[in-house]
Amino acid sequence: MAATTAPTTARTRPVPAQGGGFGGALAAEWIKLRGLRSTWTCIGLTLAMAAGIALLGTYTMVQNGMTGMDANALTPTVIMIPQFALITLAALLITGEYATGSIRTTLTTVPRRGSALAAKGVILSLVALTTGALVGLLSALITIGVAGSDGITTAGLTHGIGGTAAYSVAVSLFVLGLGAALRSTAGTVATTIAVVMGIPMIATLVGNEVLNTVSEYSPTSAGMVLIGGGADPYGWPVALMVLVAWACAAVAAGYALLRGRDA
């Protein structure tokens, strides 16, 4: 009697679902970001607050008899408060997924965590770049409109628009890296406020030489130089490098922690 054997089937390892490569990851991040009401709320608040501050600031300067101002005169100040709406948007881009648990889906679709984080960074950078440029443009147009074209110079316009855009990108990427590391919206926003606003304020209050040096190389101080196009305490190329360093450090830390732990 011949023995019969059951047919065997080759076992194959499950293949993780792919999201169409890096291009697919970019498309997915854009769809997620634009589909959130909070995205448009944060962008709208950023622009609305910037317009309001520019209008109030220019009107006050005109009432005080100031003439011959640059169209970019108020831009470094204009971005300071509205940037926190953009910071919230950047934080929610990653911490929101941890809050809802959808980060597991993201990392299943894009198994390479570096690619997943990079896709978020690219989309966030484009949004921050556009929003920052609009803030710089709004500030200049409102200054010209309220103060009148007579006596207004536009020498700093390039720094105002380009600098605000670059600063917005750097701060947003800094927040993204923090968000990947901390996985908490509140913690990410609070830490960002401490770095962006806390360091300069403490240095001003304490007056310590070491703190003053740290403050000079904070994102806020570098942003003011970059947007204003000044040379104190360093020129705009150094300011840009300082901002890039802050952003890279945060993203590197975020990636290291994202890669080394479970979602």
pLDDT of 16 reads 44
Q: Which mean pLDDT values do the consecutive 10-residue runs of the chain (263 residues) have?
A: 46 47 91 93 97 92 78 89 96 94 90 93 98 95 82 80 96 97 95 94 87 92 90 89 98 94 68
Euclidean distance between CA atoms 198 and 215, whole angstroms: 9
- Domain boundary assignment for the chain: 21-260
89-112 as b/e: b if 16+ CB within 10 A? bbbbbbbbbbeeeebeebbebbee
pLDDT of 20 reads 65
3 state DSSP class of 70: strand
Cα distances (angstroms) measured from residue 82 to each of 50, 106, 171? 6, 30, 12
pLDDT of 147 reads 81
Closest CA relative to residue 181, chosen from 104, 94, 87: 94
The angle formed by the CA atoms of residues 199, 203 and 209, to the nearest 5 degrees, is 125
**pTM for the whole structure:** 0.88
